[in-house]
Amino acid sequence: MFSAELRLRNTDVPPANHVIPDEFCGVCVATSRDPVCDAYVIEKLKVLGVSHVRMDYSYDSPGQHASRLLGALIDEGFKVMLHLVQPLPEAMQMREAAVQRRWQQFVANTLDTWGQQVEIIEVGSTINRRRWAGYCLKGFLACWRTAYVEASKRGLRISGPNISDFEPLYTIALLDLLKDMGQVPQFYTDNLFVERVTQPEVYDHRIFGALLAPVVRYNLVRKARQLEKISSKRGVEGMLCSYVSWTLPRIKRFLPEATAKQADYLTRYLVLAAASGAFKRVYWGALVSCREGLIDEARKSASHDEIVTYYSEISGNNAGYRIRPAFHALQAFQKLIPGSTYQGSLCRAKGLEVHEFTNATHRTHVVWSMNGLVADFVDIYPEHLLPRATWLSRDGVALDEVPSLATESPVYLRWPISQEVTVRANPTLIPGISICTSVKGHYYHYRDDTWHGIILAANRHDADKLFAELHPERIVERERHASLRDSRNSIWTVQDPRDPGANLVVKQPVRLSWNKKLTEPFKPSKAHRSWNGACELLRRGIPSPQPVAYFERTTGTDLIRNWYVCELEKSKLSARHFFEEYASGVPDAFGVSMTKFLQQLCVFILDMHRRGVFFRDLSGGNVLVRKGEGETVSFTLIDTARAHFYPQQLTLGKRLSDLSRLLYKLHWGGRMLFLQQYFADIDRKLGIVHKLPFLIYEIKTGWKRSRRKKKIVPSTT
């Protein structure tokens, strides 16, 4: 790992001044048994503007639908990388002579039929994943030797070995073996996935651990540049990413808007891959697939077959196929970026990306932040440049107004090439702000010498109206329709400036205990934390009243004068009301039996914990309940300022901390019913030790209440 070729300086930053190939984008394709599907695939490729495709071809392909599509693609002028795939049982026995003869015959027949009509032959299929591909090392070398000899006889170009993910030591060892054999591929192929680290920009914690990840800085750009250096040193002409995607089930583990996020990741990945200068081409996979395709084949359940290894066919009737946002994102990238010159990364701030590309007519910037973070465009560019740009969404759609904030969904800014464009010195994110891009509306950043905050509104006109009426200098003067709470926090409703028939909820801290006065100055304001908590809950698919605005002093030193505003949740019932009814012996509180209520609540809390949400203030009163038909209920979380969020499921200790607060008002019989279901769903056995947090919380809460009672009892002496 410490050899010279692995010690590269500043390789996590893309190199400037290189041309992105015109043919940078490709797509992996397959067809169904229905010939109509061939025309559908070809039509969608033309809509994308992509002329290069990768297609899998195996023992069952000759004379079948795969051959039919291959012929149609060639007739339409598409350039095909034909991926020869050995069936898994055969690959597992590749050291046997009979298996080798069958492979040699398949390769020879395929190359005789198609070799002169395709662009490249690819051999190897996720060979470092034996469970998927079936090869041992000697078996793969026998496979490669045969294919290389047959391709060389016919003067064909061969690529491989199709390694999956980033494994530099494996790559070095294997390419050295192929070099010793005199059989180095013309193109090195790698499926350079980054979906296991979630976002394309992050440093990979799986290589040296989370603590060292920011030190060694292995991000997508560094991985690509290192693999390109390794392969070029061994005489390879270029590197191709033969398959990359984000599967929707993986995204859905934490984020519900999986198709939109897949499109964000596609654009972000392709921009960084192009900027790295390491790839001749990136093939996005797959065109049509339930789990990861640009187009959903509309199967009722996703197949668990690893189509990265063998993308054999698609199912269903193309009349039911649904185009996903990622399709439009790839179409926009293909139209705007290939063929241009990459001028460099214009921002080194962590979490903010600004990349510049130029061609003969335009200067294009691609701007985005990492998930949940935001930057004000005024902090990135001089203000006079913003209205001069043409603004396009991630999907290439012209925006109807200049956005206020850069978010996790990339945007394209285009100026005429004659326009000089500069960015401000050291552009940064707005510190500590989270947003949720899946809610309807746009975010606007407002600030002056005294106040700053964020507003969520349908458009700039509504945002200005909200700012005028909810400004900190005016909000305390507005008529209070109803006071909902007045203790540590003052909570009241005001009329919604956009809709006279609707109300908004305003929350302001009014009293701080002595210990809070010591700790709060080192935290964001309570309004700031409430905003972040609500946005992050919504981003992870957990219901909370939609945030509208928050304001705080620019200095951040005033612990009381800050306001959080959200929409009013109309439900007046909370889980506490149900718990108190059940504890008093009522079998059907508000028309819902205890068993049905606790079952639905358990599913809700499990989902929250699986998405990495540690609420920390999960009292029954903070879980609002809305009645549906029959005994169905739904839940909404309020009072979000204390919530913490993690990129993985919660530990059991954090889960029990939440549950001990939640179930405090419920009698022990009800608690046990809830916990039995909860523990069964996480495949754990409920033991005595798991009941201790509930006993400790009861004792602590009882002691606090007794102290408060003593303080208000007058002295009798």
26: pLDDT strictly greater than 60? yes
C-alpha closest to that of 90 among 128, 55, 125: 125
- pLDDT for 2 equals 42
pLDDT at 31: 95
Residue 476: is its pLDDT beyond 90? Answer: no
What is the CA 203 to chain-centroid distance, rounded?
15
Q: What is the mean pLDDT of residues 569-588?
A: 94
Between 254-268, 425-439, 451-465, 511-525, the lowest mean confidence (pLDDT) is in: 511-525
pLDDT digits (tens, 9 = 90+) for 393-411: 999 999 999 999 999 999 9
Q: Are 218 and 12 in contact (CB under 8 A)?
A: yes
CA 210 to CA 266: how far, in whole Å? 24
Q: What span, in angstroms and rounded, lies between the C-alpha atoms of 229 and 171?
A: 11
Predicted confidence (pLDDT) at residue 385 exceeds the cutoff of 70: yes
User: What residues contact residue 19 under an 8 Å CB cut-off, 6+ apart?
Assistant: 339, 340, 341, 342
Decide if pLDDT at 710 tops 80: no
SS3 of 571-598: the string is CCEEHHHHHHHHHCCCCEECCEEHHHHH
244 within 8 A of 83, measured Cβ to Cβ: no
**What confidence tens digit (pLDDT) does each residue in 259-316 have?**
999 999 999 999 999 999 999 999 998 999 999 999 998 775 555 567 889 999 998 7
Contacts for 291 with CB less than 8 Å, ≥ 6 apart: 247, 248, 249, 302, 303, 307
3-state secondary structure 656-686: HHHHHHHCCCCCHHHHHHHHHHHHHHCCCCC
Q: For residue 292, what is the DSSP state?
A: T
Torsion angle of the four alpha carbons 163, 168, 173, 175, in this order, in degrees rounded to the nearest 10: 60
Q: Specify which residues 506 forms β-bridges with.
A: 492, 565
Q: Cα-atom radius of gyration of the chain, to the nearest Å?
A: 29
Give exposure, 380-413, as e/b (b: 16+ Cβ within 10 Å): bbeeebbeebebbbbbbeeeeeebbbbbbbbbbb
- Mean pLDDT, the chain, whole residue set: 92
Tokens encoding 707: 């102290």
Instruction: For Cα atoms 185, 121, 21, give the angle at the middle one, nearest 5 degrees.
Output: 75
CB-CB contact of 275 with 342 (8 Å): yes
Give backbone dihedrals phi and psi of 715, rounded to 5 degrees, phi first.
-70, 145
Across 417-533, the runs of DSSP E, i.e. the strands, are 442-447, 451-457, 482-486, 489-496, 499-509
Percent of the chain with pLDDT over 90: 80
Lowest mean pLDDT among 169-183, 364-378, 379-393, 688-702: 688-702
**Section 137-160 average pLDDT:** 97
Report the pLDDT averaged over residues 444-469. 92
pLDDT for 100 equals 97
Determine the average pLDDT of the residues in 651-664.
96
Predicted TM-score (pTM) of this structure? 0.93
pLDDT value, residue 715: 41
Per-residue pLDDT reduced to its tens digit, 171-187: 999 999 999 999 999 99
Per-residue pLDDT at 705: 72
More reliable by pLDDT, 634 or 285? 634
Whether 598 contacts 670, CB under 8 Å: yes
Mean pLDDT of 589-613: 97
Q: What is the pLDDT of residue 700?
A: 87
How far is residue 4's CA from residue 90's CA, in Å, rounded to a whole number? 38
Highest mean pLDDT among 305-319, 439-453, 668-682, 699-713: 668-682
CA 710 to chain CA centroid, Å, is 52
Percentage, residues of the chain above pLDDT 70: 94
Tell me the per-residue pLDDT of 202-221, one tens digit each, with 9 for 90 and over.
999 888 888 998 888 999 99
> Would you state the pLDDT for residue 253?
92
**Residue range 516-575, pLDDT digits in tens:** 777 777 788 999 999 999 999 999 999 999 999 999 988 766 778 899 999 999 888 999
How many residues does this entry show for the chain?
717
Please, what is the Cα angle at 545 between 542 and 551, to 5 degrees? 115
Q: Which of 57-71, 241-255, 400-414, 489-503 has the lowest mean pLDDT?
A: 489-503
Stronger pLDDT, 484 or 332, i.e. the higher one: 332
CA gap 531, 389 in Å, rounded: 31
